[in-house]
């Protein structure tokens, strides 16, 4: 037990020290971006991994969140906190529309519907110029600030880590409860779940709502972190990247999103060998492909096993460790 505590302490210390040791502010910025993506991937783990409802359109919620928060703050003069809240609420509301097709469709057909949803939202963002400024994007989005200090990358890093900690706690409690059990029953056999008294419509709404809310929050973070958003950040390719992060980390593991997002973000950087820069993306994609093929459960279960080996097995419980 004592050894486990030491293990957690080491991990916590590494996280706290990260922005202090890495002096390059740009690297911390990239890390922040990956943590933002981790929030979305966590939502996808809940929706796809636990509830079995595929989504290839999450860039849409990311975009809705980013635009909602920045436009309510810039045009309506909302305080940023309220902008965040508006972003989350609007995404949850939109998820209701997207989850209606899931009542009848699943698997391949549902994924097509979510792709279409992503495209529709993207087209709206590009063409509703009076509101979104079209392809040019929105400039001058104010950064978060506390007691008059504007947040820099290090502040954002700590804020994101705490946020992710809270969200992890949230989905862990849910998935380990009778609600998570209903999610998994629905995922494994929808008909048998319904004949066991599970209202699958409700749980589909809930799963879509949770992950859309997560993506909306991530979008708001992104807008205020970067200060500039344009439709380019919310294309279909981003949606697939989010799913890729969840799968790389472990689609059915609570830590899947948190592990997958930084790996998918930083892996390409490791392959920038001098003289071979043209191929770094190809190399990174190849490695991710290999991970998915040979470790279909993702990296998180592997890391958990490694952690347990070094710092001792926990006697009870299952699923993820903490941050």
Partner 1 sequence: MNILETKGLTKSFGGVTANSNLDICIKKGSVTGLIGPNGSGKTTFINVVSGVYPATSGKVIFDGKDITSLDKYKIARAGIARTFQTIRLFERLSVLETVLVARHASYGASIWDAVLSTSRLRAANAREEARAKELLEIVGLGKQHYDVLGNSLPYGYRRSLEIARALALEPSLLLLDEPAAGMNREEFNFLQEIIQNVKQQGITILLVEHTMELVEAVVDHCVVLNYGQKLTEGPFCDCESDPRVIEAYLGKEEAEC
Q: Is 51 in the site for partner 1 (CB under 8 A)?
A: no
Applying CB under 8 A, which part among 90-98, 195-203, 269-277, 296-304 lies near partner 1?
A: 195-203
Give the separation between CA 114 and CA 126, rounded to whole angstroms.
19
**Count of residues of this chain found to bind partner 1 when the rule CB under 8 A is applied:** 25
Question: How many alpha carbons lie under 13 Å from residue 278 in its C-beta half-sphere?
Answer: 1
Q: Tell me the closest approach of the beta carbon of residue 172 to partner 1, in angstroms.
A: 10
Q: Tell me the closest approach of the beta carbon of residue 79 to partner 1, in angstroms.
A: 26
The correct pick among 107, 199, 269, 289 for binding partner 1 (CB under 8 A) is 199
Who contacts 260 (Cβ-Cβ below 8 Å, separation ≥6)?
38, 41, 244, 245, 246, 247, 248, 249, 250, 298, 299, 300
Q: Is 106 in the site for partner 1 (CB under 8 A)?
A: no
Q: Tell me the closest approach of the beta carbon of residue 80 to partner 1, in angstroms.
A: 25
Q: Is 291 in the site for partner 1 (CB under 8 A)?
A: no
Give the separation between CA 92 and CA 202, rounded to whole angstroms.
14
Q: Is 287 in the site for partner 1 (CB under 8 A)?
A: no
Q: Is 314 in the site for partner 1 (CB under 8 A)?
A: no
The correct pick among 184, 287, 302, 303 for binding partner 1 (CB under 8 A) is 184
Q: Tell me the closest approach of the beta carbon of residue 181 to partner 1, in angstroms.
A: 6
Structure tokens at 86: 């508006």
CB-wise, 10 or 89, nearer to partner 1?
89
Query: What angle is formed at CA 160 by the lines to CA 138 and CA 175, rounded to 5 degrees?
Result: 115
Helices (H), 22-79: 25-44, 58-75
Q: Is 197 in the site for partner 1 (CB under 8 A)?
A: yes
Q: Is 179 in the site for partner 1 (CB under 8 A)?
A: yes
Backbone angles phi, psi at 118, to 5 degrees: -60, -45
Q: Is 181 in the site for partner 1 (CB under 8 A)?
A: yes
Q: Is 232 in the site for partner 1 (CB under 8 A)?
A: no
Give the separation between CA 239 and CA 282, rounded to whole angstroms.
19
Give the separation between CA 215 and CA 117, rounded to whole angstroms.
15
Q: Is 100 in the site for partner 1 (CB under 8 A)?
A: no
Q: Which residue has the tokens 């991937």?
A: 41
CB-wise, 150 or 173, nearer to partner 1?
173
The correct pick among 38, 39, 185, 218 for binding partner 1 (CB under 8 A) is 185
Applying CB under 8 A, which part among 107-115, 150-158, 183-191, 303-311 lies near partner 1?
A: 183-191
Neighbour count for residue 35 (Cβ, 10 Å): 23
Site residues for partner 1, 134-173, by CB under 8 A, read 170, 173
Q: Is 303 in the site for partner 1 (CB under 8 A)?
A: no
The correct pick among 189, 232, 269, 277 for binding partner 1 (CB under 8 A) is 189
Q: Is 193 in the site for partner 1 (CB under 8 A)?
A: yes
Residues that bind partner 1 (CB under 8 A): 170, 173-174, 177-179, 181-182, 184-185, 187-189, 191-200, 206, 252
């Amino acid at each position: 037990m004592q050894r486990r505590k030491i293990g957690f302490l080491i991990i916590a210390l590494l996280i706290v020290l990260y922005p202090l040791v890495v002096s390059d502010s740009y690297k911390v910025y990239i890390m922040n971006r990956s943590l933002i993506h981790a929030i979305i991937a966590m939502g996808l783990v809940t929706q796809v991994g636990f509830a079995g409802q595929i989504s290839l359109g999450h860039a849409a919620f990311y975009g809705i969140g980013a635009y909602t928060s920045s436009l309510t703050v810039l045009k309506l003069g909302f305080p940023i906190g309220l902008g965040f809240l508006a972003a989350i609420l609007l995404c949850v509301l939109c998820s209701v529309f997207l989850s209606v097709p899931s009542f009848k469709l699943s698997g391949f057909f549902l994924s097509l519907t979510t792709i279409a949803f992503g495209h529709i939202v993207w087209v709206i963002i590009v063409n509703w110029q009076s509101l979104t400024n079209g392809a040019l994007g929105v400039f001058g989005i104010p950064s978060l600030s506390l007691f008059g200090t504007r947040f820099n990358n290090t502040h954002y890093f700590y804020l994101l880590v705490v946020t992710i900690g809270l969200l992890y706690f949230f989905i862990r409690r849910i998935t380990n409860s009778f609600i998570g059990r209903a999610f998994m029953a629905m995922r494994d056999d929808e008909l048998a779940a319904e004949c066991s008294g599970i209202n699958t419509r409700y749980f589909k709404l809930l799963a879509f709502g949770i992950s859309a809310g997560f993506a909306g929050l991530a979008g708001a973070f992104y807008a205020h972190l970067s200060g500039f958003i344009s439709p380019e950040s919310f294309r279909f390719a981003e949606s697939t990247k989010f799913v890729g992060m969840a799968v790389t980390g472990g689609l059915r593991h609570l830590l899947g999103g948190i592990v997958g997002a930084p790996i998918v973000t930083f892996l390409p950087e490791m392959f920038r060998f001098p003289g071979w820069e043209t191929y770094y993306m190809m190399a990174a994609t190849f490695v991710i492909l290999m991970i998915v093929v040979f470790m279909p459960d993702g990296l998180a279960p592997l890391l958990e096993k490694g952690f347990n080996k070094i710092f001792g097995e926990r006697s009870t419980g299952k699923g993820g460790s903490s941050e």
